[in-house]
Amino acid sequence: MTSAAQQLKQTLSSGVGQAIYGLEPTIHGLTIALIAKGQVLLEGVPGLGKTLLAKTLAHLLGGTFKRVQCTADMMPSDLTGIHVYNAEKQSFDLIPGPLFADVVLVDEINRTGPKTQSAFLQAMEEGAITIDRETYPLARDFFIIASQNPHEFEGTFPLPESQLDRFLLRLQLEYPDAACEASILKAYDHPGGGHVQPSVTETLSNELIDQARTQAAAIHVSDAVYDYTTQIAAATRSHHQISLGLSPRGALALMRCARVEAALRGAEYVTPDDIKAVADAVMAHRLILTPDAVLEGIRANELANSILDSVEVPRSESPSLDTAQAQ
């Protein structure tokens, strides 16, 4: 029997697959982020379909879509909105910014400065925005998909550690294989191809999303798996090549995503393999390497994998022991 989480992934894969080709791992990551209520950072070269992917997702969610092209001269109010005086009403009216949409694509997020990037922090963590001392709630399923090009560094700003920590997942987009690229050419080889309204017939109901989230929340996690996660976090904080390791928020993100990973495979409890399956996407962007490690060309995902290999995996992956102790 197909569970709510599995049905959600099938609907998402089917809907996105009508417009996007060859991004199955990315769609899997987006499914995890949607159920876990987190934001996503996409890394990849230009032209891989990040904008079309975000538009299609917004259409599937039945919500509004806004695209923000980040530049060096952007101000926080360009994202949050401003209050404008209404002479007729003799009051200030809010002109909402693009962050008030359901799905927001923040293109080349590292091309704007730290002052403007700080405008994302409250929205990403609390789902709200404070403007002129008044707090406004954002959309129910507020979802940020931010993109950055890892190969272009001229005119860019490094994302603050506090902002990186607020991205639930970082997903890497790779070039499509020959068959997928041929499908892309056949589908979009016409004027304006790829920039039209996505022709998606399916939608994701709020009820299905809620059911999937309820299912993930009910997944059992044993004490051994909790201990395994805390040991991984501790190992990142004591590693000689890492200056800033996994925060408690990062450890929570690892558990939230592992719960969803277990739900997507139809399991009733989280195993260490579920932790390992999501670890790279959850951990790598949160690890700040030492200057010596950067000079040596070491990559964060390599360190994340080596840390996973160094931490002892608990022997019991079944919740039966915890259940027996509880009884």
In whole angstroms, what is the distance from residue 77 CA to residue 100 CA? 12
CB 50 within 8 A of CB 145: yes
Q: Give 144's pLDDT tier (boundaries 50, 70, 90).
A: very high
For the cut 90, the answer to whether the pLDDT of residue 240 exceeds it is yes
Q: What number is the average pLDDT over the span 1-21?
A: 87
Fold exhibited by the domain 219-326 = Helicase, Ruva Protein; domain 3 (1.10.8)
Backbone φ and ψ of 258, nearest 5°: -65, -35
In whole angstroms, what is the distance from residue 145 CA to residue 138 CA? 15
Other beta carbons less than 10 A from residue 213's beta carbon: 20
Instruction: Sketch the domain layout of the chain as residue ranges.
Output: 4-212, 219-326
Fold exhibited by the domain 4-212 = Rossmann fold (3.40.50)
List, for residues 268-324, the tens digit of each pLDDT value.
999 999 999 999 999 999 999 999 998 998 999 999 999 999 999 987 545 544 443
pTM for the whole thing?
Answer: 0.88
Q: Among 15-29, 175-189, 306-320, where is mean pLDDT lowest?
A: 306-320
Question: Which of 80, 77, 82 has the alpha carbon at shortest distance from 95?
Answer: 82
| DSSP state letters, 225-280 | HHHHHHHHHHHHHH-TTEEE---HHHHHHHHHHHHHHHHHTT-SB--HHHHHHHHH
In the predicted model, what is the mean pLDDT of the chain? 87
Q: Where are the beta strands (DSSP E) in the chain?
A: 39-43, 65-69, 81-86, 91-96, 103-107, 128-131, 134-137, 143-148, 167-172, 242-244, 288-289
Question: Which of 309, 289, 294 has the alpha carbon at shortest distance from 239?
Answer: 289
Percentage of the chain beyond pLDDT 70 is: 91
CB 182 within 8 A of CB 142: no
Percentage of the chain beyond pLDDT 90 is: 54
pLDDT at residue 154, rounded to an integer: 66
b/e sequence 306-325, b meaning 16+ C-beta within 10 Å: ebbeebebbeebebeebeee
Q: Among 10-24, 167-181, 189-203, 211-225, where is mean pLDDT lowest?
A: 189-203
CB 256 within 8 A of CB 36: yes
Q: Quickly list H helices, 18-130.
A: 24-36, 50-61, 77-80, 114-117, 119-126
Helices and strands in the chain: count of H runs, count of E runs: 15, 11
Of residues 205 and 1, more confidently modeled:
205
List, for residues 29-82, the tens digit of each pLDDT value.
999 999 999 999 988 888 888 888 888 888 888 888 898 999 989 999 999 999
Q: What number is the average pLDDT over the span 134-161?
A: 83
What lies within 8 Å, CB to CB, of 133 at 6+ separation is: none
CA–CA–CA angle 205, 257, 58 (5° rounding):
35
pLDDT at residue 192, rounded to an integer: 65
Question: In this structure, what token pair is assigned to residue 47?
Answer: 């032209």
pLDDT at residue 53, rounded to an integer: 84
